[in-house]
């Protein structure tokens, strides 16, 4: 706790100089150098992380959506449902509106930091594949869920969280949703590029109508997968906001939010195949339609879990609005 004091400091009166004994302040040139170096390292570390993420993003073709109009259009279409959900979370914030600068920065950071999750997922998957279906479930619960939710939360923590305009618990859900939108955007873009490469349509930078047609199916699939990322990270973000205003329990609160988000995320990954098959078998729907039905049911259930938290905050806020 910040109010804890060393026994010497507690026993001594104000006339005794305890510098470098039990207290410390900047006095000497060496102290000044230490302060300056600490300032530089804490800020440089963030920029180094961002720079490395950018290098990885370029290396894996993550900028194709910007350089190729067809991929860009398909990516934009694929995130429309996620964008709609994010907009709803944004407008559900009963407190002050979040500034565009923080929203855009969080979105960009999420795209960049998503590259770390991609690298870890690719490297770790091989260790679980020999275990078959059990290994795949373990991979989702131990690597994919925790890893992807952590990098999305980092996108909020690195910038928006430290800003004074992040001034309510529910702001965490808003920035978490933005981070989920950014993650879904880059993930969808990479899936679309991979699909076009496999179909042979990604041969140059002028793809045309044939590429748009070839990417239609994967775009539709990714369009329904995107809102899940918004839901998971908005839940984790809500708890990050709760943690900001409960510093004495910050760590456990953040871990709780991450655990909830990661488990929901991993549960989706682990059940979407079996669930879609079951729906198709019972209803007679085509596999793709059954896939859509499963995702809609899953997202509605956990989307309501998120929205109930936001609605509860809004109800309490309005009941106390006269005193705020």
Q: How far apart are CA 225 and CA 202, in angstroms?
A: 23
The pLDDT assigned to 18 comes to: 87
Joined together, the tokens standing for residue 19 give 């510098």
- How high is the mean pLDDT of the chain? 90
State residue 262's pLDDT score: 98
* DSSP-H helix ranges across 166-215: 169-199, 208-214
Question: How large a percentage of the chain has pLDDT more than 70?
Answer: 93
What is the Cα–Cα distance from 293 to 287, expressed in whole angstroms? 10
CA distances from 154 to 7, 30, 111, 292, 310 (A): 37, 33, 11, 30, 21
Residue 198 has pLDDT above 90, yes or no: no
- Spell out the residues 6+ positions from residue 254 whose beta carbon is closer than 8 angstroms to its own: 153, 239, 240, 243
Which CA distances in Å does 53 have to 3, 60, 188?
38, 11, 18
Cβ-contact 53, 115 below 8 angstroms: yes
Task: Give the pLDDT score at 208.
Answer: 53
Determine the average pLDDT of the residues in 184-200. Answer: 85
50-77 pLDDT, tens digit per residue, is 889 989 888 888 888 777 787 888 899 9
Q: What is the mean pLDDT of residues 203-215?
A: 53
Residue showing tokens 């510093």: 247
Decide: 174 and 56 in contact? Cβ < 8 Å: no
- Per-residue pLDDT of 265-292, as tens digits, reads 999 999 999 999 999 999 999 998 999 9
- Cβ atoms within 10 Å of 184's Cβ, excluding its own: 31
Residue 167 pLDDT greater than 90, yes or no: yes
The reported pLDDT for the residue numbered 207 is 47
Work out the pLDDT band at 114, boundaries 50, 70, 90. very high
Does position 110 have pLDDT exceeding 50, yes or no?
Answer: yes
Confidence bin at 1 (pLDDT 50/70/90) = very low
Q: For the residues 203-217, what does the mean pLDDT come to? A: 55
* C-alpha torsion 165→166→167→172, nearest 10: 160
19, β-bridge pairs: 23
CA distances from 305 to 98, 267, 308 (A): 23, 15, 5
> Does residue 211 register a pLDDT over 60?
no
State the burial class of residue 170 (Cβ atoms within 10 Å of its Cβ: 0-12, 13-18, 19+): buried
Is residue 107 predicted with pLDDT exceeding 80?
Answer: yes
Mean pLDDT of 3-10: 82
Q: Taking residues 161-178, what's their average pLDDT? A: 96
Say which range, 175-189, 210-224, 300-314, has the weakest mean pLDDT.
Answer: 210-224
């Amino acid at each position: 706790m910040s109010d804890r004091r060393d026994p010497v400091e507690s026993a001594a009166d104000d006339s005794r100089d305890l510098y470098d004994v039990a207290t410390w302040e900047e006095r000497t040139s060496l102290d000044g150098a230490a302060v300056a170096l600490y300032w530089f390292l804490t800020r440089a570390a963030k920029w180094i992380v961002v720079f490395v993420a950018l290098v990885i993003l370029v290396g894996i073709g993550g900028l194709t959506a910007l350089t190729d109009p067809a991929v860009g259009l398909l990516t934009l279409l694929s995130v429309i449902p996620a964008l709609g959900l994010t907009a709803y979370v944004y407008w559900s914030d009963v407190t002050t509106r979040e500034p565009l600068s923080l929203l855009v920065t969080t979105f960009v950071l999420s795209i960049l930091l998503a590259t770390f999750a991609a690298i870890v997922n690719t490297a770790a998957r091989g260790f679980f594949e020999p275990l078959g279906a059990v290994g795949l479930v373990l991979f989702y619960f131990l690597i994919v869920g925790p890893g992807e939710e952590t990098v999305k939360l980092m996108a909020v923590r690195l910038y928006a969280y430290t800003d004074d305009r992040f001034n309510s618990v529910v702001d965490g859900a808003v920035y978490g949703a933005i981070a989920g939108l950014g993650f879904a955007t880059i993930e969808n873009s990479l899936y679309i590029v991979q699909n076009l490469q496999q179909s042979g349509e990604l041969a140059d930078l002028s793809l045309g109508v044939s590429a748009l047609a070839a990417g239609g199916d994967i775009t539709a699939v990714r369009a329904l997968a995107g809102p899940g990322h918004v839901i998971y990270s908005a839940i984790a973000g809500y708890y990050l906001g709760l943690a900001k205003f409960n510093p004495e329990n910050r760590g456990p609160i953040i871990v709780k939010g991450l655990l909830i988000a990661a488990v929901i995320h991993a549960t989706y990954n682990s059940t979407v195949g079996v669930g879609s098959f079951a729906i198709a078998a019972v209803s007679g729907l085509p596999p793709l339609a059954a896939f859509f039905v499963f995702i809609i049911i899953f997202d509605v259930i956990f989307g309501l879990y998120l929205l109930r938290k936001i609605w509860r905050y809004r109800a309490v806020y309005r009941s106390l609005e006269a005193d705020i």
